């Protein structure tokens, strides 16, 4: 009734032993190939993601807002700076070297 391969007629154990003996000689080489192929796939995926551009929908959705500075606060800070010489020197140092702590 079943026209497929009958597993009882084929001796699987001797075939597997023979195959494992053949492959054991090359197991290290096969393992290195598998690792290199996995590495290659990862590198290509990273390369593709690095070159990806945002879609027009993503670009259009960005809204930039410019912060508003209160002119009265600016005037008050400038008047305080003019009145105090210590503060004036601190502002001058910060202007000359903004990254100094």
Q: Give residue 37's pLDDT.
A: 97
Range in 41-45, 55-59, 72-76 the model is least confident about: 55-59
Q: Give residue 40's pLDDT.
A: 97
pTM for the model stands at 0.40
Residue range 3-44, pLDDT digits in tens: 566 666 567 788 888 888 888 888 889 899 999 999 999 999
Q: Helices 27-50 & 12-25, crossing angle to 10 degrees?
A: 70
Query: Does residue 52 carry a pLDDT above 70?
Result: yes
Can you tell me whether residue 55 is helix, strand or coil? coil
Bigger pLDDT: 84 or 78? 78
Mean pLDDT of the region 35-54: 93
Q: Residue 49: how many CA atoms within 13 Å on its side-chain side?
A: 6
Inter-residue contact 91 to 81 (CB < 8 Å): yes
Instruction: Name the residue with tokens 């053949």.
Output: 22
């Amino acid at each position: 009734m079943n026209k497929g391969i009958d597993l009882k007629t084929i001796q699987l154990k001797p075939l597997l032993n023979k195959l494992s003996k053949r492959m054991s000689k090359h197991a290290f080489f096969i393992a290195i190939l598998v690792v290199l192929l996995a590495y290659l796939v990862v590198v290509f995926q990273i390369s593709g993601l690095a070159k990806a551009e945002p879609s027009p929908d993503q670009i259009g959705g960005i809204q930039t807002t410019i912060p508003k500075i209160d002119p009265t606060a600016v005037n008050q800070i400038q008047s305080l700076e003019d009145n105090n010489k210590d503060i004036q020197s601190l502002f001058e140092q910060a202007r000359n070297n903004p990254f100094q702590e």
